[in-house]
Amino acid sequence: MKIGFVVKNLAASQLAYFLIDSLNRCCENNYEDNYVVFSQNKASKMKPNNFAMLNSSELWGFDGVLVATCVATAMEVLKSVSPAKKYFYVWDLEWCRSHLMGLEQRRDYVQTVRAFSHPSMNLIVRSPSHAAAIKNYCNKPVCGIVDDFNITELKQVITQ
């Protein structure tokens, strides 16, 4: 199975730590699956990686499953011409902090909810409380709950 993760960057963050750690552990024990991280921005990564890393401009040629990790990457995945199955792993409830963002970074409800409610986007969340919040926010059920980038659980959700 080919799985591509689309992130803003792999700089020091909780998301980057769990993603790199989970993928490194999978790559040590599994030679059948291919994992690729597509990054929108170049940044110093916090840990060495055992998986492929590409710029997000290379999404067009990827034919596996794509997993977005934020609203911006979800929108990029939706615009991608690749035949990949598309998932949005909602790591963070970004819309809850819109009052803390600068004016140029704010998104209106219509644009943000499009990333969640698009028919070709399947939602995966970190916890049952995130699932309830998303159901309330955009009226779309999630297809799975996966804690902290557990790749085994993620593959089970994707293959359902």
Determine the structural domain holding residue 34 and report its residue range.
2-159
Length of the chain: 160
**How many structural domains comprise the chain?**
1
Residues 107-124 pLDDT 10s: 567 778 888 999 999 999
H or E, element range at 53: strand 52-55
The per-residue b/e assignment along 40-62, b for 16 or more CB within 10 angstroms, e otherwise, is beeeebeeebebebeebeebeeb
Give me the CATH number covering residue 111.
3.40.50.2000
Of the candidates 121, 122, 111, 7, the one whose C-alpha atom is nearest the C-alpha of residue 59 is: 7
The end-to-end CA distance of the chain, in Å, is 14
What is the per-residue pLDDT across 25-64, written as a single tens digit (0 to 9) for each? 988 887 788 999 999 998 887 888 889 899 998 988 898 9
Residue 97: pLDDT band with limits 50, 70, 90: low
